[in-house]
Every structure is written in structure tokens, then in C-alpha cells.
Chain A
Amino acid sequence: MTRADWLVLLLAIALLPVLYTKYWGAGGPADRARIAANGQAPLEIPLSRNQQLHIHGPLGDSVLEVKDGRARFLSSPCPGQQCVHSGWLARAGDLAACLPNGITLSLQGARPRFDSINF
């Protein structure tokens, strides 16, 4: 093998752990937010674009905010406000839920890390 071959091979091996942590590792970076609301097909949006979304639930509109690669419940018409208190979600697998309004927000990496989360 030539020196260049070795270099390519080494580079490939060196890249492995990076990709591993990126896509399979614990709480790796997220690139999408998954929003599921009562009875509707889940919605996936990229975290790369800052925006606010009004998601309709039985109690009214919950406002979700995507900003700088993170996402959160900005406001929700529920009495407990647990979803708002969850704060910013930043890593794949992070989850916030507004049970009274039937809305969950979770962050996804390249491959959904979990098929279901016990919350």
C-alpha cells in the first residue's frame, strides 16, 4: 500500500469514533425536533431554522420555539406548566411533554435513538 492509502485508512478509522458518538452515542447532537400532538401524525422539523410553532391541543395552543439548534415549550395553556419548566432541549433523546394538552416534543439525531420513551 502506498503512503496515501495508509493515510486514507487511518483517516477512516479516526473518523469512526466521531461518527459513532455523533449518531449512536449517549445524548449526541440532535438535528431534528419531533412534535407529536394528539391524534395527528408526528411532525419533524429541522433545528437549523429558528422559528416558533403554534400547536393546537384540547386546551388551546402550545407555543414551541426552535432557536440555535435547541427547542422548548415557550408557553402552554396547561395549569401545571411542567412542560415550560423543562426548559431547553438540546441533545438527541431529550423529551418534554405537556400531558394535559397532549403534546410531546423530543429531539432526534440521525437515527431515532429510542423507539419509545418511558416518561
Chain B
Amino acid sequence: MKGLLAARASRYIGFFALLGVLALSACGRAPEPLHQEQVLAFGTLVDISIWGTDAASAQQASAAVISTLNALHHRWHAWEPGPLTEINTQLARGGTVDLAPDQIEVIRGAQALSRQSGGLFNPAIGQLLAEWGFQMDERPADVPPPHPDAVKERVALQPAMDDLQLDGNQLRSRNPAVQLDFGAYVKSYGVDQAIAALRAHGISNAIVNAGGDLRAIGQRGGQPWRIGIRDPRGPGVLASLEIHGDESVFTSGDYERYFEFQGQRYQHILDPRTGYPASGAMSATVVYPGGGVGGGASTALMVAGPDNWLEVVRGMGLKEVMLVGADRTVYLTPAMAKRIHFEIKPEPKTVIGEP
């Protein structure tokens, strides 16, 4: 009798093992309180994911994010007439501008990051960006790149963030060539404000992804959020990582904005030292706790390329960095190597750089 029971039990083990395996294939299908929305805001595609709230509150919260981002977009737009173009007009005239507290915060923050990056992140080169036609929503096709002399001239004027002098709330520039264009840096600022808006609505599990610059807080139903980092030369995901708590993941890439002229590709991240598009790297990703430095750091790393990336890592105090070089070699800091998971086969060649 005992033997018969044991035999029966063991038969069930086999049955349940199979059942378990089959259940694996279906367990991801259960409906869950996940609200996902994608909107054009902030001049890019913004992806909002909110977990664990009812649909109506999630919708309200994401509406708050969208209006926050759109207000910031106007406030910091580098070429559509607005507060920043007014500042730039005054700086070019050698005049003085009264700044609001948030403007002081952004400009001071950008100055500090520019210094830490050894000037590789330089949001004072608005003139150069305009020369290249990157200060347009859509650069028309078949417009040639600027004449080398024009580029040389702009670079020789050496606009730098340290040319700016803040006296109380009064801003002026020693160098009339300074024209501010905060690019990706203002995206980090925007994403941080968006997360603050979500928290103000009682949301504690969310992702705000502004065209490749994201911050994630909390989890997705007890599971960490999973983030894919795009392959710079393909439609797929190069690598992925899981978010611990509150972290930002910022990626800059040469594929984000570029134009082609006579078969040559020109991307939008300019090396302020040469005035030409940075060419050492295809993409740069920075992961760090909380908000802050993201956009400035990923831009500086793109400019630095594989030759100088570790100087930027040290100067900016970064811990987790992944740089995809122009030959597709992947450069990783040790802390990044520990948590990143490659999603392509064969895995790319990697180089670990000790900061």
C-alpha cells in the first residue's frame, strides 16, 4: 500500500513539473495596473510608465508631467523665441540680464558640469550649433555642412561657461560669443521635474523616458523596472539593466540627430575644441542614483570618446558608464560591467576601464 502511494506521488511529481513548465509560458499575461503613455512633449517622444495606481489617477499624473515638460520646453528652447533667446540676445550685446531662481539653478549647474568635464560639455556653443543647422526642428535635406573657415572662426572665439558672471541674480558675459543651448542637460532637468510632479501626485512607481533620457523610481509589482539600451547600429536592444530604487539612465547617441550630405554622416554632438561632430563614440550611457548630471555627462562622454572617457568619468565623479566606441568596442566601468546584461549574440568585445 505504502509503495503504491509513493508510486502515485511520484507520478504526480512528473505531472506537476510539466504543469509548472507550461505555466511559465502563461504567467506574464495576467492584467496588471500598468499605465503606459507616449506623448510628443519637450521636443521629443516622452514615454511615461506608471505602476500600481488606478487608471484615472495615473492619467491625471501623466497629464501633470506633460504640462510640466511643455512649460520647460518653452522656457529653455534655444531658438524658438522665449526666455532663453532673450537671455542670449542680451549676452550677445554685452548686456546684463535679471534671472529667475530656476534659471540661476540651471546655469550654475551647467557651469559646474562644464568645469568638471574639462569643457567637453559646453552649452555655450550655441553659435556653432546654429552654424551647423542643428538649431532647427528639422534640418532640410541637402544643405551642405558649414565652410571650414566658418567653423574655425566660431571655435576661435572660445565661448565657455566660465565666461558667464553671476552677480546675485544678474548675469552677464565677458565673451559676446557665448550663446546658451543646453541640449541634453535641460532634459535631465526636465525629467527630474517630471518625477517630482509624479511624486506630488502620490506616484511612487514610475518611469519617465524623454527620448533616451530616463529616470525610474520604485518597482513594477515587486519586480525591478527593466531598461533596454538601444543598439546604436540596429533596431534592437544592445544591453539591459534593472533599476534599484531611484536611478537615472541617460544615453546620448550619434544616431539621435544627424544629417547626411554626399554620403557623409554628420551627427549633432559637436566637439567644442574642433567645432566638428564628435567621432570617437556611437553612444554613451550613464547610470546614477537620483537625478542631476545625466545630460551633461553623456554629452561629455560622447565628445571624449574612448581616448579620454576615463578623464570625464573621474572629473564628473561617475560610477556607472558604458561607452560604445566607433568600432563597436564597448567600454565599461567596473561598476557598470557588474550590472549590465548584453542582449546581442555574439556579445560585443568589451574593455573595462578603471576610473
B14 touches A9 (CB 8 A): yes
B15 touches A8 (CB 8 A): yes
Q: A110-B29, A117-B227 are in contact. Are A104 and B38 (CB under 8 A)?
A: yes
Task: Give the distance in Å from the alpha carbon of A30 to the alpha carbon of B93 in the complex.
Answer: 57
A5 touches B213 (CB 8 A): no
A69: Cβ under 8 A from any B Cβ: no
A95: Cβ under 8 A from any B Cβ: yes
Task: Give the distance in Å from the alpha carbon of A70 to the alpha carbon of B24 in the complex.
Answer: 25
Q: A93-B343, A113-B228 are in contact. Are A79 and B140 (CB under 8 A)?
A: yes
Task: Give the distance in Å from the alpha carbon of A27 to the alpha carbon of B341 in the complex.
Answer: 12
A60: Cβ under 8 A from any B Cβ: no
Q: A5-B14, A118-B214, A119-B230 are in contact. Are A27 and B28 (CB under 8 A)?
A: no
Contact among B11, B228, B285 with A1 in the assembled complex (CB-CB below 8 Å): B11
Taken residue by residue from 207 to 230, chain B's Cβ proximity to chain A (1 for < 8 Å, 0 otherwise) reads as 101011110100010000111111
Chain B residues numbered 1-37 whose CB sits less than 8 Å from any CB in chain A: 7, 10-11, 13-15, 17-18, 20-21, 24-25, 28-29, 36-37
A115: Cβ under 8 A from any B Cβ: yes
A94: Cβ under 8 A from any B Cβ: yes
Chain A residues, CB < 8 A from B212: 118-119
Report B176 CB to chain A, min CB distance, Å. Answer: 33
B18 touches A11 (CB 8 A): yes
Nearest B residue to A90, CB-CB: B235
Task: Give the distance in Å from the alpha carbon of A4 to the alpha carbon of B10 in the complex.
Answer: 11
B225 touches A8 (CB 8 A): no
B49: Cβ under 8 A from any A Cβ: yes
Which of A16, A41, A78, A95 gathers the greatest number of chain B CB atoms within 10 Å?
A: A95
Nearest A residue to B342, CB-CB: A26
B15 touches A117 (CB 8 A): no
Contact among A4, A86, A117 with B237 in the assembled complex (CB-CB below 8 Å): A117
B138 touches A79 (CB 8 A): yes
Task: Give the distance in Å from the alpha carbon of A27 to the alpha carbon of B238 in the complex.
Answer: 10
B326: Cβ under 8 A from any A Cβ: no
A116 touches B209 (CB 8 A): yes
A27 touches B236 (CB 8 A): yes
B45 touches A118 (CB 8 A): no
A19 touches B235 (CB 8 A): no
Chain B residues, CB < 8 A from A11: 18
Chain A residues, CB < 8 A from B139: 79
A19 touches B24 (CB 8 A): yes
Q: A1-B7, A1-B14, A115-B220 are in contact. Are A99 and B45 (CB under 8 A)?
A: yes
Q: A2-B11, A110-B25, A113-B228 are in contact. Are A100 and B138 (CB under 8 A)?
A: yes
Chain B residues, CB < 8 A from A79: 138-141
Chain B residues numbered 221-258 whose CB sits less than 8 Å from any CB in chain A: 225-230, 235-237, 240, 249-251, 255
Task: Give the distance in Å from the alpha carbon of A95 to the alpha carbon of B140 in the complex.
Answer: 25
Chain A residues, CB < 8 A from B141: 79
A96: Cβ under 8 A from any B Cβ: yes
Chain A residues numbered 1-53 whose CB sits less than 8 Å from any CB in chain B: 1-2, 4-6, 8-9, 11-13, 15-16, 19, 22-23, 26-27, 36-39, 41-42
Task: Give the distance in Å from the alpha carbon of A94 to the alpha carbon of B236 in the complex.
Answer: 4
Task: Give the distance in Å from the alpha carbon of A99 to the alpha carbon of B230 in the complex.
Answer: 15
B214 touches A116 (CB 8 A): yes
Taken residue by residue from 283 to 325, chain B's Cβ proximity to chain A (1 for < 8 Å, 0 otherwise) reads as 0010000000000000000000000000000000000000000
A5 touches B237 (CB 8 A): no
Chain B residues, CB < 8 A from A96: 235
Known: A99-B44, A117-B230, A118-B229. 9 other contacts (CB 8 A): A5-B13, A8-B17, A8-B18, A19-B24, A26-B342, A26-B343, A27-B343, A118-B213, A119-B212
Could you give 17 example pairs across A and B, Cβ below 8 Å? A1-B10, A1-B14, A4-B14, A8-B18, A9-B14, A9-B18, A16-B21, A19-B21, A41-B37, A42-B38, A94-B237, A100-B137, A104-B38, A111-B28, A113-B228, A114-B237, A115-B220
Closest 10 CB pairs of A and B: A111-B28, A114-B228, A8-B14, A36-B38, A1-B10, A102-B40, A117-B228, A118-B251, A12-B17, A5-B14
Q: B-contacting residues of A (Cβ < 8 Å)?
A: 1-2, 4-6, 8-9, 11-13, 15-16, 19, 22-23, 26-27, 36-39, 41-42, 58, 78-80, 82, 86-87, 89, 91, 93-97, 99-100, 102, 104, 110-111, 113-119
